[in-house]
Structure 1
Amino acid sequence: MLPTEIAALGGHTMGTTWSVKLVAPRDRDLHALHAGIQAQLDRVVAQMSTWEPASDISRYNRAAAGSWQVLPDDFWRVLRAAQTVAERSDGAFDPTVGPLVALWGFGAAAARQRRPDATQLAEVAARCGWQRLQMDARAQAVLQPGGLQLDLSAIAKGHGVDLVSDWLRGQGIDAALVEVGGELHGRGRKPDGQPWRVLVESAPEEDAGADHPPRVLALDDLAVATSGDRWHRYEHDGVSYSHTLDSRRHAPVTAAAAAVTVIHREAMLADAWATALTVMGADEGLAFADRHGLAARFVQRGDGGPVETLSQGFRQHLQAGNA
């Protein structure tokens, strides 16, 4: 057997970066692997990017009221997962919230960053709602009821991670750590026999005042995703607005956690549940995570520094990683 080594590849996708560390024989053609990874991620963009006018999701969003739109396999799989999380979370996750996101000043069609007036808000909110989604499984089609705008930005990156990880497996790469915009999936073992270990996302200002240790996870066929208001927010008239929208209130999440991290077998679902739990907030979200067996970590800003709370499932992963 040829000796193996860890190779590192990277590039750009979905307005962010991707990176892959993989274990491969030293004579493996890395250029072909790089091209294949990029092709998988380009497929996600072509189907699910609201920034691309020619994408499948953009075509659906422009479709005439009453028309059924047949979806490609990946798009269909992601939308079904999004709808399932929306139902289970009672709308804390909502794949139709795009117009509200834009109205509050975020996303591909962002309006001016300010609080919208009540009339405008009511008009846009009336066009949103995961309950308006009608899906025909036999035809793999979705009804455009009129004015419904899908936005899968809170689940598509995770799906991209899963897609790349599965593709690498099909190429005979049995050990890899895949990352897209901070969402990760690790599988297999490094040449020294150790699993991929990752530090749960944190920020320097949080680390400086934290009284909890760094959280390191061993990803043995596991994914991890983090959501929160650290990355995209703005202030207007002294009020802080997060890019994470609560469709139940038609407004950005207030007092959003700095970070919510979820561990799951699928990066797609880790991504979606991290958003749902962010919308719920630490108290409701932690209770929900424990009730439904989700491995979740919340980091909130407190007067004395960051405050960390962990679900029982997350604690078990930490214990397993240290075993």
Structure 2
Amino acid sequence: MSPNSDIAALGGHTMGTTWSAKLVAPRSRDLHALHAGIQAELDRVVAQMSTWEADSDISRYNRAGAGSWHPIPNDFWNVLVAAHDIAARSDGAFDPSIGPLVALWGFGANAATQRAPDPAQLADVARRCGWNKLQLNPQTQSALQPGGLQLDLSAIAKGYGVDLVSRWLRRNGIDAALVEVGGELHGYGLKPDGQPWRVLVESAPEEDAGAEYPPRVLALNDLAVATSGDRWHHYEHDGVSYSHTLDPRTQAPVTRATAAVTVIDHEAMRADAWATALTVMGAEQGLAFANEHDLAARFVSRSNAGLEEAMTPAFQRYLDAETQ
């Protein structure tokens, strides 16, 4: 690594959250241009996939009439294909079509009142959802709007943004960086001291207060990590706690949500989506699924005895031996 290189720290806002990038760059490098380039990559994700923006590509698709086909721009297409694949592989535990359900339970861009919805209204909305209603035509890179299908890619788009930024930095001569969007991370290359980027695995709130397990540290050498769980968004109504993570199979928030599920992958997009899918499955089913499919996953669950940690062998292989 050049002695004229330093670690620069950049940051900003996107997708209702923050982004940051630590990157190894020559001291002479124009950081303003790098910041602008990163922001432009993330702004493109928002322009194509944000349900909070009325004129985004996804919002236009969601409003479209039944039976219409819509050309999908490249980034949106890449995420749709991955979302459809993970929905199929997870047997619907991950579902990009549950936007109306998310809103009905009081979360997301079009959130209703935060309370348990009326059963008849819930059944009506649930009939319009279903990942298998999403039809994609690879030849024309287009998607069919069957009527009333409302896509929501919030459980995968932040991860895709991380991947976009990492690729853009590489194309622009940055040989080492740690990129983060809303907690999803990707690291590649080595720092000036020759060491990889090391990060703590995100914890459950109880772990913050009094660690029952040693800190889990990952060395991100061209790896991504994402964590899902119930510490981020939830509310209480009539003494019941409702998680923002919905189970598409029951049309209701996940009950007894796993405190934290962390997934490692080479793509932050896939780590992001799989962390959601495994959270929906729950610790027992999710761990069995992750083991069967060789996913690198860590589960932290609550029990009467306190927190319980479980990791797949694939996850254990990535733990930084120097810090464990």
TM-score, with structure 2 as normaliser: 0.97
AA aligned opposite 1:253:
V
2:140 aligned partner: 139
Query: What SS does the corresponding residue of 2:298 show, helix, strand or coil?
Result: strand
AA aligned opposite 1:210:
A
How far apart are 1:203 and its partner, in Å? 4.7
Aligned counterparts of 1:25 and 1:319: Cα–Cα separation in 2: 28
1:156 aligned partner: 157
How far apart are 1:205 and its partner, in Å? 3.1
How far apart are 1:52 and its partner, in Å? 0.3
Aligned counterparts of 1:41 and 1:151: Cα–Cα separation in 2: 17
Query: What SS does the corresponding residue of 2:318 show, helix, strand or coil?
Result: helix
How far apart are 1:115 and its partner, in Å? 0.7
Deviations 1:74-115 (A, max 9, x none): 000100000000000000000001100000000000000111
The correspondence of residues 253-268 of structure 1 with structure 2, limited to 5 A, is 253-268=254-269
How far apart are 1:321 and its partner, in Å? 6.3
The correspondence of residues 39-188 of structure 1 with structure 2, limited to 5 A, is 39-188=40-189
Unaligned stretches of 5+ residues in structure 2: none
2:21 aligned partner: 20
AA aligned opposite 2:242:
Y
The correspondence of residues 234-249 of structure 1 with structure 2, limited to 5 A, is 234-249=235-250
2:228 aligned partner: 227
Deviations 1:159-186 (A, max 9, x none): 0000000000000001000000000000
AA aligned opposite 2:247:
D
How far apart are 1:247 and its partner, in Å? 0.7
TM-score, with structure 1 as normaliser: 0.98
Deviations 1:174-219 (A, max 9, x none): 1000000000000000000000000011255323343210000000
Contact 2:17 2:182 (8 Å CA) reproduced? yes
Query: What SS does the corresponding residue of 2:236 show, helix, strand or coil?
Result: strand
1:199 aligned partner: 200
Q: How many residues of Structure 1 are paired with residues of Structure 2 in the alignment?
A: 323
2:316 aligned partner: 315
Query: What SS does the corresponding residue of 2:278 show, helix, strand or coil?
Result: helix
AA aligned opposite 1:267:
A
**Against the structure 1 CA distance between its residues 321 and 68, is the aligned structure 2 distance closer, same or farther, given a 3 Å change threshold?**
farther
Deviations 1:218-267 (A, max 9, x none): 00000000011111001111111111111100111110111110000000
2:6 aligned partner: 5
Query: What SS does the corresponding residue of 1:313 show, helix, strand or coil?
Result: helix
AA aligned opposite 1:201:
E
Contact 1:70 1:142 (8 Å CA) reproduced? yes
How far apart are 1:117 and its partner, in Å? 1.2
Query: What SS does the corresponding residue of 1:318 show, helix, strand or coil?
Result: coil
Aligned counterparts of 2:322 and 2:275: Cα–Cα separation in 1: 21
Quick check: 300-309 or 289-298, which moved more?
300-309
Aligned counterparts of 1:206 and 1:238: Cα–Cα separation in 2: 24
Q: Does 1:210 align with 2:207?
A: no
**Against the structure 1 CA distance between its residues 303 and 210, is the aligned structure 2 distance closer, same or farther, given a 3 Å change threshold?**
farther
Quick check: 304-313 or 110-119, which moved more?
304-313
Aligned counterparts of 2:294 and 2:205: Cα–Cα separation in 1: 30
Query: What SS does the corresponding residue of 2:97 show, helix, strand or coil?
Result: coil
Contact 2:204 2:300 (8 Å CA) reproduced? no
Q: Does 1:276 align with 2:262?
A: no
Deviations 1:108-164 (A, max 9, x none): 000001111111011000000001011111000000000000000000000000000
Aligned counterparts of 1:322 and 1:113: Cα–Cα separation in 2: 42
Give the fraction of aligned pairs with identical amino acids, expressed as a percent.
Answer: 75
Aligned counterparts of 2:322 and 2:134: Cα–Cα separation in 1: 40
Aligned counterparts of 2:104 and 2:251: Cα–Cα separation in 1: 10
Please list every run of at least 4 consecutive aligned residues from structure 1 whose deviation after the TM superposition is greater than 3 angstroms.
Answer: 319-323
How far apart are 1:319 and its partner, in Å? 5.3
Query: What SS does the corresponding residue of 1:271 show, helix, strand or coil?
Result: helix
Aligned counterparts of 2:3 and 2:139: Cα–Cα separation in 1: 47
AA aligned opposite 2:123:
A
Unaligned stretches of 5+ residues in structure 1: none
AA aligned opposite 2:82:
A
Contact 1:261 1:296 (8 Å CA) reproduced? yes
